[in-house]
Structure 1
Amino acid sequence: MTLPAPKLDDLTWADMLAAVRRRIPAESDGLWTLHAPVDPGVTLLELFAYLLEQRLYWLDQVPDALVVAILRLLGLDPPRPARPAATVLAVTARRTGTAVPVVPAGTALTRDPAGRIVFTVDDDVAVFPLAEDGEVTVWTGRDRTADLRARRGVPLLAADGAAAEVRFTLPLTGAHPAPGPLSLLFELDAPAASGPDWLPGSVAGVPPPAELTWSWFRPGTETRGPFEKAEDGTAGLRRSGIVRLYPPAGWTTRDSGILVSTPAATHAAPPRLLQLAVNVSAAHHRRRRTASGGELQEQVDAWLKLPGRRLDLPEAAERLLEASLRLAGQQWRAVPDLTFCGPADRVFVLDRTEGALVFGDGLTGRIPHPRQEASAEYTIGGGRDGNGGMTANWVPAGDSTAAITAANLVRAEGGADPETVAEARQRAAASLGEVTRAVTAADFTTLALATPGVAVARAHASLGEHPDFPCTPVPGAVTVHLVPAVPRADPAREDFVAAPRPDPGMLCAVAAHLEQARLLTSEIFVRAPRYREVVLRADLSGDPADRDRVSARLTEALRRFLDPLTGGDDQDGWPFGRPLRPAALLRAAHRALGDLAAVSAVAIGLDGADPDEDCREVPLGPGELPVLRAVRTRIVSAVEPGEGLA
């Protein structure tokens, strides 16, 4: 039974006054005889009861400072600040000569005529000249440019572990040297767990699914070579990201070919390319400002050496994200709150609403001295206002005459308003139910699925399973089998993977995540599932009118029923180790065919064996899953009702 929350302020002013009046005769030995409100003593009792009622009310109120302090003691984040939205901008710059123009990092661009929504470019962008109406071409053994133009998802590298390569030709013109790196956007059809690298919260340091080599070549010739350096924001084509390629000396825009190769394409599924663009940079809804001298000095000179000092920053109201301050050559830093700060700490907290820096009271946080030289560097922006669709009308903020324009190639998203204390309390309460230690089999499964930066669709923890002792349970050993998230919408596609296996980077990431949560005596192994090839034979009673149609529908239904990601009765993947039962397969076949044909029996063959006529179930091991290779159909004579009875 759930206990009700205690209520500490249930004693009212009238209850307290009545209780005190009942005690007057005994406490005064009968000398206090007038208990009416006109008596000064009763007036004082009413006043004290009023004050006590206010104190009782305070007992039930938890101040925000206490909430923040408790969150920090629990090791949880305090109320999170505003978060800036992010997007990817394709930059265009007017050329004033033969040199390739460079748009420097920090350039402020706006899509808002009023100039309030300002995004800044994260990196320098060398704006290489592009052919008018030119487009990126893709070659993966055949020309896939039309598929890329239609955003049909171009599979780049076959996920079969063999050597593979893909070629891109960029629409560059002229023969201009490179003043900076080639900046390319690779937008992939990737799972949500592998979020784009430009969005807030993207996970860094995830091992790549395959080792890629980035090279350049000159189309129509044998001239080629490696790039000096490649900054791969896609993490080996695991997610959407920005790739910055640094050409060597002697490279020109005639060398417009990009070759991506790998000695072993070990992706879980071929990466699907949706868009490839040139001259791009990530941009965030923020703008850096510096204030010094007269903008701040008047406020600093007016300070008194008393608690409660604050410093208002120009144009920062409702938009302040972060700040740093120097007073008399000493650096002051921002903290989430002042609760755990000492009297000598040079700290302040940010007041986003007022756009101000708030200092301590001399006990928690140092009181700043007046009449000191002050300078502040701060960032404004953030919030949900920055989220929005794709537009092509980006211009420099405050300078409409500049020769720079831009278009965002993906939606601006990820912006969030500051978290309130109430929202932080709710987040903390929700975190109490999170699994942080691997104790039970369900804990291992939950933690594997929650590994940041990789898309694990299913996980199965096999207790006692040790790879070196396959026939003997080993105490303390746990083997976690992973099924990665791969596309399942169209089994007829050339890049469909029937038996998805985790890539080496995913195995390493999950193993590192479980290593931090395991018990001291546990030994953890992370492996791919063991797939068992299944061949089925279905006996069709009678003679169907369209046998090819019946065979195709039956094969599709049984493949979907045995699929490791969408199979099973609940359509969330065939359960690990569940045996193959002819009755269950027969039921799935009947559901799929309906009135097209009658299936009288289903026989199962495992690992290349011929389908067995036996009606017994076929067992699978704890970490094993079936993968359907073929369905054979044969026609058997229909059995009439009552036939065969004596």
Structure 2
Amino acid sequence: MLPRIPLDDRSFDGILQEARKGIQQRFPEWTDENSHDPGITFLELFSWLSEMQQYYLSRIPERNLRKFLSLLGIAPLEAAAAEAEVSIGNVKEPVELPAGTKLQAEDQPFETVEHARLLPLAIDRIVTRTERESSDRSASNTGGNVAFYAFGKEAAADSRLYIAFDREPAVGETISLHVRLADGDAVSPSEESGRIVPSAMVAWKIYGLDGEDGMSWLPLSVVEDETVHLTYSGRISFRIDAPVRQVIVHPAADKPRFWISCTLEQAGYELPPRIDRVLLNTVKARQQDTKSEQLVYDGTGLPGQTIVSDRFLARYGELLVQVREPNGSWRDWREVRSFDEDGVDKDGHCYVVVRESGADGASEVRFGDGARGSIPAAGTRNIRRIHCEKSFAPLALVGRSNGLPHQKAILHGLPCKWRDGLALQVGVPGEDDMDVLWEDWEPVADFDRSGPLDRHYVYEPETGVITFGNDENGAIPVASEELNFRLIGCVLGGGVRGNIKPHLLTEWRQDEQRALGLTSDNAGYGSGGAEEESLEACLERAQAEWQTPYCAVTSEDYARLAMETPGLKVTRVHVIPNRSPGREKPAPGAVTVVVVPEGLGETPAPSAGFLATVAKHLDDRRLVTTEVHVVAPEYVKVTVHAVVVVEPQFMDESRRIAAALNRLLTPTDGADGVRGWPFGRTVHKGDIYGAISRIKGVAYVQDLWMDAEGRAVKKSPGGDILLEGHGIVYSGDHRIELISRAQL
């Protein structure tokens, strides 16, 4: 029950007095207002009923709040699973690591998200080369505690990053590198990362055989680049298309090695990439424990159809194959060793399992040819492989139907936190009494939109209870004497405990994986894990979302949306309405947005890609008739020359005065609360006089003038610096001359 919300603050006495005041106005013939009058008794009764009604209306139950949120299309967020990048080591020969491979970090289970091919390669050397110097960064990469700039701090064009392998990569192999940028230097791309235009462009090459005799640096075929040209942390995958050869790269000149290089073809980084680690043989792992999963295939209708899976549970778990019947239900087919067994005829619903490479290889399911074993009908998504852990098989049947409304089933020992983490089937009688078919049921948040024929159920993760409908809102499962509620999908996990520390993901959960002698380690933190959102937090989020406009209408909207551009670090935004670049006169319907990126220098300038990314983000949110332009700031360098009279003991404080001017004339906001100079604001001499005069020990400013450098610099007759609308100032080398007051 939530705290009382006072929808009406009137009490019983207040309601009664308000009613009695209206007697003379509405019924002047009513003259007896004493307590013995029946009319007064009725007024007291209705006043009490009104007070009780407003009391209950002020106490909105949780169920109603959830319904109100559902009308707005909002529901509390489910628990989220953390993810971490895992590096696999001690690879002595190529190893196929199936998706779903189980690892352990203390008491937290993890699974690999995708299939990975591990190669017997290791990084031997890393070298960075700029126009000024070449440096061996191998020790920094091995230790992982000293970050280094991939292309130097200036990140000038033609700078290079070299990575050497300890052995020759084979032709046709795909090599995946995971590049971890230093904390604070990279913003993880969001779902809109495909819309990000890179600020700089790099080219990957490998030293190999060019033709029959010549050797040179050959372009590498980039299969995947999550880093967006080394702008973010992520994976880069290359395909080796030509034989690799050894070469000497200075300063790692002790012996030839197998090198690849990354050349900065087009400069423009707002923040030069600073690398924490470059890792080989990495795979993404998610904090979850899959007990059962299903894979769906299309039926070809041809004899001897095969379906292959190389997932972890397909290798080491139990297998069940289902084929969809014409009425939409599913039939379990049985496994046989061979189609030549007794009892296998043309109507036999059976299949054979073939292992491609021993017990550790992919498993292949093969169906009959119509003479020995049935042929699954042609169709879309009508064949299903169900894999589960051997220990899960006894837990798959979770109850039976009694044919009554609102029946429930409880999951014991399966703390699933996701509604979509379950896949439920209900068994129904087939044509024969001994025949059982299975129907898929779908999870829903509630039965409000469910009809009497909809096979829906509601799962409550906090209690582990599955609830079915009442034949009006949601169908009732067919009654059965046997257990006929079966889970064919179950995924556990999620929560904040999955946000593990580095170097904890080191154990393999399967004996077969441990037997390979591989090592595992997570160089970074696990991230993304969260508990289920509370109702109170959901209400706060809903209020914030509905109060935050999505469409850009006002200047404040454009500034806020530009600051929130996914994947970019924007420090300042200035919006100029009715302004279009290149036009001197006002342009109705046009908006110019000036953005300042985060950078290392005094005057961080956005690249063309940075501006294009912000423009794409705003273009989706502008009004149809609005013309949006995103431009870089126009920096103006302001140098102050001042003659300042100070007290005798402050004759050595010229640096302090210059520092105060630097804080005043800065283009960006500082961490200590210093605000950057406003866009387009004139730099008046009075601003400088005030900043200097407030410094302790300053008597007065005897003389002052300012110089300005930049495009379209203008000065007023009084010596003030005039700025354009997108102009912003930064400090030059201020010249401060101090005169002792005692000398005057």
- The normalised TM-score by structure 1 is 0.76
The match for 1:105 is: 99
1:535 matches 2:639: yes
1:631 matches 2:733: yes
Distance of 1:472 and 1:117 partners within structure 2: 64
Residue type of the alignment partner of 1:73: L
Distance of 1:127 and 1:196 partners within structure 2: 25
* Residue among 71, 89, 110 paired with 1:119: 110
Matches within 5 A, 1:370-381: 370=479, 374-381=486-493
Distance of 1:258 and 1:127 partners within structure 2: 19
For the structure 1 residues 159 and 268, does the alpha-carbon distance in structure 2 shift closer, same or farther, using more than 3 Å as the test?
farther
Q: Is the 8 A contact 1:234 1:242 kept in 2?
A: yes
Residue type of the alignment partner of 1:507: L
For the structure 1 residues 277 and 230, does the alpha-carbon distance in structure 2 shift closer, same or farther, using more than 3 Å as the test?
same
Distance of 2:120 and 2:654 partners within structure 1: 55
Residue type of the alignment partner of 1:424: C
Distance of 1:462 and 1:369 partners within structure 2: 67
Distance of 1:9 and 1:180 partners within structure 2: 78
Deviation at 1:464, TM superposition (A): 1.0
The match for 1:62 is: 60
Residue type of the alignment partner of 1:388: I
Q: Is the 8 A contact 1:318 1:354 kept in 2?
A: no
Q: Is the 8 A contact 2:81 2:288 kept in 1?
A: yes
Distance of 2:476 and 2:154 partners within structure 1: 65
Q: Is the 8 A contact 2:641 2:736 kept in 1?
A: yes
The match for 1:288 is: 290
The match for 1:397 is: 509
Q: Which moved more, 1:361-370 or 1:454-463?
A: 361-370
The match for 2:304 is: none
The match for 1:385 is: 497
- The normalised TM-score by structure 2 is 0.67
For the structure 1 residues 420 and 640, does the alpha-carbon distance in structure 2 shift closer, same or farther, using more than 3 Å as the test?
closer
Q: Is the 8 A contact 2:208 2:242 kept in 1?
A: no
The match for 2:706 is: 604
* Residue among 594, 597, 610 paired with 1:506: 610
Q: Is the 8 A contact 2:169 2:240 kept in 1?
A: no
User: 1:8-55: CA deviations, max 9, x gaps?
Assistant: 99789xx9xxxxxx999979xxxxxxxxxxxxxxxxxxxxxx999998
The match for 2:270 is: 268
The match for 1:323 is: 422
Q: Report the 3-state secondary structure (helix = DSSP H, G, I; strand = E; otherwise coil) of the residue aligned with 1:478.
A: strand
1:481 matches 2:594: yes
Q: Is the 8 A contact 2:140 2:148 kept in 1?
A: yes
For the structure 1 residues 626 and 190, does the alpha-carbon distance in structure 2 shift closer, same or farther, using more than 3 Å as the test?
farther
Q: Is the 8 A contact 2:648 2:740 kept in 1?
A: no
* Residue among 666, 669, 677 paired with 1:563: 666
Q: Report the 3-state secondary structure (helix = DSSP H, G, I; strand = E; otherwise coil) of the residue aligned with 1:164.
A: coil
Structure 2 unmatched runs, 5+:
17-33, 40-47, 247-255, 294-319, 321-331, 333-392, 427-436
1:210 matches 2:202: no
User: 1:335-370: CA deviations, max 9, x gaps?
Assistant: 344333333333333322344544333333333335
For the structure 1 residues 278 and 252, does the alpha-carbon distance in structure 2 shift closer, same or farther, using more than 3 Å as the test?
farther
Matches within 5 A, 1:123-272: 123-129=114-120, 134=124, 136-141=126-131, 142-143=134-135, 145=137, 151-157=145-151, 163-170=157-164, 172-177=165-170, 181-189=174-182, 191=184, 195-196=187-188, 203-210=192-199, 212-218=201-207, 223-248=216-241, 250=243, 256-272=258-274
Distance of 2:60 and 2:674 partners within structure 1: 47
Deviation at 1:256, TM superposition (A): 4.5
* Residue among 684, 687, 693 paired with 1:584: 687
Instruction: Specify which structure has the higher proportion of strand.
Output: 2
Deviation at 1:551, TM superposition (A): 7.2
For the structure 1 residues 131 and 532, does the alpha-carbon distance in structure 2 shift closer, same or farther, using more than 3 Å as the test?
same
The match for 1:86 is: 83
Deviation at 1:607, TM superposition (A): 2.4
Distance of 1:568 and 1:404 partners within structure 2: 45
Distance of 2:719 and 2:672 partners within structure 1: 20
Q: Is the 8 A contact 2:578 2:588 kept in 1?
A: yes
Q: Is the 8 A contact 1:316 1:354 kept in 2?
A: no
Deviation at 1:582, TM superposition (A): 3.0
Deviation at 1:502, TM superposition (A): 2.4
User: 1:171-212: CA deviations, max 9, x gaps?
Assistant: x323352785333232224658x6435xxx665324132353
Deviation at 1:118, TM superposition (A): 0.7
User: 1:469-501: CA deviations, max 9, x gaps?
Assistant: 1x1111221111111123xxxxxxxxx322212
For the structure 1 residues 373 and 383, does the alpha-carbon distance in structure 2 shift closer, same or farther, using more than 3 Å as the test?
closer
Q: Is the 8 A contact 2:144 2:277 kept in 1?
A: no
* Aligned length, in residue pairs: 583
Residue type of the alignment partner of 2:401: W
1:445 matches 2:443: no
Q: Report the 3-state secondary structure (helix = DSSP H, G, I; strand = E; otherwise coil) of the residue aligned with 2:236.
A: strand
Distance of 1:212 and 1:385 partners within structure 2: 38
Q: Report the 3-state secondary structure (helix = DSSP H, G, I; strand = E; otherwise coil) of the residue aligned with 2:402.
A: coil
Distance of 2:717 and 2:145 partners within structure 1: 49
For the structure 1 residues 477 and 307, does the alpha-carbon distance in structure 2 shift closer, same or farther, using more than 3 Å as the test?
same
User: 1:375-400: CA deviations, max 9, x gaps?
Assistant: 52232100012122112561112538
Calculate percent identity across the aligned residue pairs.
Answer: 24
Matches within 5 A, 1:275-354: 275-290=277-292, 295=394, 298-300=397-399, 302-312=400-410, 315-317=413-415, 319-320=417-418, 322-327=421-426, 328=437, 330-354=439-463
Deviation at 1:405, TM superposition (A): 2.5
Distance of 1:554 and 1:129 partners within structure 2: 61
Distance of 1:4 and 1:337 partners within structure 2: 26
Distance of 1:215 and 1:502 partners within structure 2: 24
The match for 1:489 is: none
Distance of 1:540 and 1:222 partners within structure 2: 68
User: 1:100-132: CA deviations, max 9, x gaps?
Assistant: 2232222111022xxx41111223334334569
For the structure 1 residues 314 and 595, does the alpha-carbon distance in structure 2 shift closer, same or farther, using more than 3 Å as the test?
same
Q: Report the 3-state secondary structure (helix = DSSP H, G, I; strand = E; otherwise coil) of the residue aligned with 1:163.
A: coil
User: 1:396-432: CA deviations, max 9, x gaps?
Assistant: 1253844333111111222111012222112212323
Distance of 1:579 and 1:67 partners within structure 2: 53
Q: Report the 3-state secondary structure (helix = DSSP H, G, I; strand = E; otherwise coil) of the residue aligned with 2:620.
A: helix
Q: Is the 8 A contact 1:538 1:631 kept in 2?
A: no
For the structure 1 residues 195 and 283, does the alpha-carbon distance in structure 2 shift closer, same or farther, using more than 3 Å as the test?
farther
User: 1:421-476: CA deviations, max 9, x gaps?
Assistant: 2221122123233232322222221222122332211111101111141x111122
1:572 matches 2:675: yes
Q: Report the 3-state secondary structure (helix = DSSP H, G, I; strand = E; otherwise coil) of the residue aligned with 1:186.
A: strand
Distance of 1:568 and 1:395 partners within structure 2: 42
Q: Which moved more, 1:335-344 or 1:526-535?
A: 335-344
Distance of 2:155 and 2:626 partners within structure 1: 31
Deviation at 1:567, TM superposition (A): 6.2
Q: Report the 3-state secondary structure (helix = DSSP H, G, I; strand = E; otherwise coil) of the residue aligned with 1:348.
A: strand
Matches within 5 A, 1:352-367: 352-367=461-476
Distance of 1:573 and 1:466 partners within structure 2: 24
Q: Is the 8 A contact 1:295 1:314 kept in 2?
A: no
Distance of 1:66 and 1:401 partners within structure 2: 52
1:419 matches 2:525: no
Deviation at 1:303, TM superposition (A): 0.8
Q: How large is the RMSD of aligned CA atoms in angstroms?
A: 4.5
Q: Is the 8 A contact 1:230 1:244 kept in 2?
A: yes
The match for 1:71 is: 69
Q: Report the 3-state secondary structure (helix = DSSP H, G, I; strand = E; otherwise coil) of the residue aligned with 2:194.
A: coil
Q: Is the 8 A contact 1:93 1:127 kept in 2?
A: no
